[in-house]
């Protein structure tokens, strides 16, 4: 699957390997929550670029996944908790890709996730999760997610996650 990932040309082979290793660890090797779902996420694109508006570096990371039974609520739509979990995991991957590209250090934890639900997603739909970093500060970072049902061509949910750097003990 890693060979199917499109990387921006400004990432070194070592940075690409570090991003893939982090993605594999978070999605498949070490997850303590939601492994059944996150292990099915397919990394499609990692792009690190200079944002035109402020000339700062940002990352765009795209995943795809097929809707399955384990992602549903009682009425047969994508569960809100599943949406929140995917936003949490996927924005973390986008922020980590930028951290690797910038050669930054530090660990970050969720500070808040704001989510808006736009349309339901059903079993069998192919979802695309587009994650874009929005800010990188000295103590706080943030990224946003758009979850698209690409089978039915509609926006399912959007979310923004803010993370804070953990205290150094």
Fold of 6-165: Thiol Ester Dehydrase; Chain A (3.10.129)
* 18-63 confidence digits (pLDDT tens): 999 988 888 787 767 877 888 899 999 999 999 999 999 999 999 9
* 76-117 confidence digits (pLDDT tens): 999 999 999 999 999 999 999 999 999 998 888 899 999 999
Rounded-to-integer distance, Cα 81 and Cα 115, Å: 11
Confidence at 1, pLDDT banded by 50, 70, 90: very low
Indicate the SS3 state at residue 94.
helix
pLDDT score for 138: 84
Residue spans of the domains in the chain: they are 6-165
Closest by CA position to 8, among listed 61, 51, 54: 61
* More confident position, 14 or 36: 14
Rounded-to-integer distance, Cα 53 and Cα 13, Å: 28
pLDDT score for 53: 94
CA angle 37, 43, 45 (to 5 degrees): 150
DSSP codes joined into one string, 112-123: EEEEEE-S---T
């Amino acid at each position: 699957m890693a060979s199917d990932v499109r990387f921006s040309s400004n990432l070194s082979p070592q940075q690409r390997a570090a991003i893939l290793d982090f993605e594999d660890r978070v999605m498949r090797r070490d997850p303590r929550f939601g492994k059944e779902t996150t292990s099915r996420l397919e990394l499609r694109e990692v792009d690190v670029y200079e944002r035109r508006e402020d000339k700062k570096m940002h990352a765009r990371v795209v995943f795809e996944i097929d809707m399955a039974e384990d992602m549903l609520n009682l009425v047969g739509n994508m569960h809100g908790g599943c949406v929140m979990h995917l936003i949490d995991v996927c924005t973390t991957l986008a922020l980590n890709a930028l951290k690797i590209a910038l050669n930054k250090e530090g660990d970050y934890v969720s500070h808040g996730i704001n989510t808006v639900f736009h349309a339901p997603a059903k079993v069998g739909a192919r979802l695309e999760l587009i994650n874009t970093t929005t800010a990188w500060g000295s103590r706080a970072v943030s990224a946003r997610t758009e979850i698209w049902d690409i089978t039915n061509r509609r926006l399912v949910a959007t979310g923004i996650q803010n993370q804070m750097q953990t205290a150094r003990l």
